[in-house]
Structure 1
Amino acid sequence: MYTIIGAGIGGLTTALIFEKLNIDYQLFEKAKKPNALGAGIWLAPNALQVLEFAGVIDTVFRAGNSIDRITLSNQKLKPLADSSQLPAKEKYGFSTLAIHRAKLQLALIESIPKEKIYWNKAFKSLEQANNSVTVIFQDGSTTKSQYLIGADGIDSKVRSQVFPNSQIRYSGQTCWRGVMKSALPIEYKDRGIEMWGKGIRFGLSQLSKNETSWFAVKKSKAFQKDDKTNLKAKLGSYFKAFHPLVHQLISNTEIEDILRNDITDLKPIKDWHKDNVCLIGDAAHATTPNMGQGGAQSIEDAYHLGKIISENPNKNNFKAFQKKRFKRVNSIVRQSWFTGKIANMNTGYPIRNAIFSAIPKKLINKNMYSVYDLKD
């Protein structure tokens, strides 16, 4: 029996894969019920291949919007790199999908037997003894199983106990995420766009027929708070030199639908497992969102962990899982961190833009496919 802590994207996908492969599990989540918080997320073909394997791809696609073109541009929407996703669709069966994070989670939850998800169960601590793990919850209740999987995100309580010296890193950048309750102009419907300016950037994509997601990134001190009464005006002033589409998105988004989060990741740790406890997803290797691969790598973790366990059901497979995933994941973490620094350059940005404009499309596609490949 496997106990999974956390009903985020990684924990839910793990449950789905275990369900598919007949691996015994139970899933515990601290929230009292599913909630509708969050903003947009991109699911690249590597993640979508896993969701297809798990049997939920049609449900997920009904809730999202396909992106057939990804554009990196300057602040005026002049392309620096323009990548069609149609070759990827031919190769993998999917282009990238934009979807509201809450709708994705609900789609995954609906496909898991209700009796296997336990809500309002906040993790407090764990004890390992006699080849088993006992979890103690905040309400005083306990559960015991042979293995424990910590899928409880970047602020993982499981990781804090097992690896107390792990460190969350602040990138020096903060991000506002918004969801506008209307569609983009038709020419932008199937595009994912990120605009780079001087020390700031702005991204957008349509999520559904009546939802559009956007994000705005700027250098900032950590732990700052917004005054909601003038937030839109302040964002407008930050991005005053950007394409008019940016101002349309900000002004047409309800203030309660704008969230602020500092951009952080987890400083890479040497091990993701200890005895009968293993971390996955953001709990093990949280990455900055600059490559759109945070959720995708959690989904990949679930797939590979399930496959490895199903092939060797009577042993502890956590070491083999880490060996399978460690190099790829940490490469993406490093690349994403570096991309964030480049994207928010205050000086030298015209040179940066010229360099990106000169990158051959063949090289861009090669890098894209290296991320999209789901290797067994």
Structure 2
Amino acid sequence: MDPHIRKKALIAGSGIGGLSAAIALQKVGWETVVFEKAPERTEGGAGIVMAANAMKALDKLGVAERVRMQGKEVGMAEIRTWDGKLIVRLPVRKQAEQFGSPSYLIHRTELQAILQEGLAPGTDVQFNKKLESWKQNNGKVTTLFADGTQVEGDLLIGADGLHSTVREGLTGSTPLRYSGYTALRGISVFRDERYPMAAGGGFEAWGPGKRFGFSHLGQDRIFWFAAINAPQGTLGRASERKAAALRHFRGWFDPIEAVIEATEEDKVLAHDIFDRQPISTWHDGCVTLLGDAAHPMLPNLGQGGAQAIEDSFVLAACLREHHSDVSKSLLAYERHRMPRTNRVVLQSRRMGRLVQLEHPAAIRFRNTVLRAMPDRIQIERLRWLLGYEL
């Protein structure tokens, strides 16, 4: 194929990874079409943190300033016991200086809107397009959708999440790994003078087998989450989730119960938390994976969206470096990204075991170690993750 002919990437999934990939590929001269199985963009969802590595990647995509404007900078971050005793105050200001950017919290829907606005004018984002299969022939890939339509391109990117159709077509069925805990999440309008909106950030509270997080989203909104050790599949109906959260965190320090109480019942989300075992390859021919489709991870390091954004930039850089030779580019992309994303998957699991401890002696030992850890060590432990340069 003539290298001067503009090539087309077909992207399955219009989440953070899919939209970031579209922006990144457009910057290196590719045409992109994004397909989303949902009938429309919804206003649901919860908060998401964009740590320093994510912000630096968003800068390269040209959308970070909008995130800074619409999100809320994390100015404080504490970890406390369930009854309010301080375990550690994280050195977020020092981290920002060391790693080149503060972290920001933003509503996931607002981040997706920013990314969609960052696409080139006229970019095709098609909703209600459920991918069923694809076929490859002579360096081309043809996607087949549930509505009977077909689209041909030079590259198919599976950015279609934890339950990826593209991943299953590439690798077959790989089992989900249940984390051992389930999550409740919500957004409420709430003020507390002990955690002023101007300061940004918030806290996590850790108790036996459960934890609660509180963070500012801006505009008097609080994003909260709860992680609760429980057997898989024990989530209640939507009408029961707020009551379940209040039951689990009754008696925890203020303002935890008040934040939950301030949340509209139908705005409490619930999810069993899963990842998957890393796989040995993400691509075949001119089909590849990105984000949660490639390396689904537990949320304990706050890196799911960040790693998808990093993937997008690296994939585009590999396509540029290899002059759009798709086969060479996809091999280079996964060789570059796999060691890092596999490490994040592993460390996210380890962090989950640490923060969801149940045994009192283990909890006391963990808290004692964290209290004694100087800022310098806290920062160095995260340098590989947050200080990463693309």
Question: What is the TM-score with the length of structure 2 in the denominator?
Answer: 0.92
Aligned equivalent of 2:137, options 101, 111, 129: 129
CA–CA separation in structure 2 for the residues paired with 1:92 and 1:349: 30
Counterpart contact for 1:29–1:122, Cα < 8 Å: yes
Amino acid at match of 2:22: A
Which residue of the partner structure matches residue 12 of structure 1? 19
Which residue of the partner structure matches residue 92 of structure 2? 85
1:50 to 2:57 alignment: yes
1:197 to 2:207 alignment: yes
1:300 to 2:334 alignment: no
CA–CA separation in structure 2 for the residues paired with 1:292 and 1:174: 16
Alpha-carbon displacement from aligned partner over 1:311-359 (angstroms, at most 9, x marks no partner):
2223121111111111111111111111111111111212221122222
Which residue of the partner structure matches residue 384 of structure 2? 370
1:361 to 2:369 alignment: no
Query: How big is the shift at 1:143?
Result: 0.6
Alpha-carbon displacement from aligned partner over 1:128-182 (angstroms, at most 9, x marks no partner):
1211111001101011112111000011011111111322111110000000023
Which residue of the partner structure matches residue 107 of structure 1? 114
Gaps of 5+ in 1: none
Aligned equivalent of 2:330, options 305, 310, 318: 318
Q: How does 1:266-285 map to 2 (within 5 A)?
A: 266-285=276-295
Query: How big is the shift at 1:121?
Result: 1.1
Which residue of the partner structure matches residue 339 of structure 1? 351
CA–CA separation in structure 2 for the residues paired with 1:165 and 1:122: 18
Amino acid at match of 1:85: V
Counterpart contact for 1:65–1:97, Cα < 8 Å: yes
Alpha-carbon displacement from aligned partner over 1:246-299 (angstroms, at most 9, x marks no partner):
101111100111000001112111111112111010000010000111111111
Q: Greater shift after overlay, 198-207 or 347-356? A: 347-356
Change (3 A) 1:77 1:370: farther
Amino acid at match of 1:68: G
Alpha-carbon displacement from aligned partner over 1:45-65 (angstroms, at most 9, x marks no partner):
111111111111122222211
RMSD in angstroms over aligned alpha carbons?
Answer: 1.6
Change (3 A) 1:229 1:143: closer
CA–CA separation in structure 1 for the residues paired with 2:221 and 2:90: 23
Query: How big is the shift at 1:229?
Result: 4.7
CA–CA separation in structure 1 for the residues paired with 2:210 and 2:123: 46
Aligned positions, number:
376
CA–CA separation in structure 2 for the residues paired with 1:229 and 1:157: 31
Which residue of the partner structure matches residue 75 of structure 2? 68
Counterpart contact for 2:74–2:102, Cα < 8 Å: yes
CA–CA separation in structure 2 for the residues paired with 1:264 and 1:80: 28
CA–CA separation in structure 2 for the residues paired with 1:273 and 1:286: 16
Query: How big is the shift at 1:69?
Result: 2.3
Which residue of the partner structure matches residue 24 of structure 1? 31
Counterpart contact for 2:190–2:259, Cα < 8 Å: no
Aligned equivalent of 1:173, options 161, 175, 181: 181
Counterpart contact for 2:210–2:229, Cα < 8 Å: yes
CA–CA separation in structure 2 for the residues paired with 1:374 and 1:20: 22
Paired-residue identity, %: 32
CA–CA separation in structure 2 for the residues paired with 1:338 and 1:12: 30
Question: What is the TM-score with the length of structure 1 in the denominator?
Answer: 0.95
Counterpart contact for 2:71–2:104, Cα < 8 Å: yes
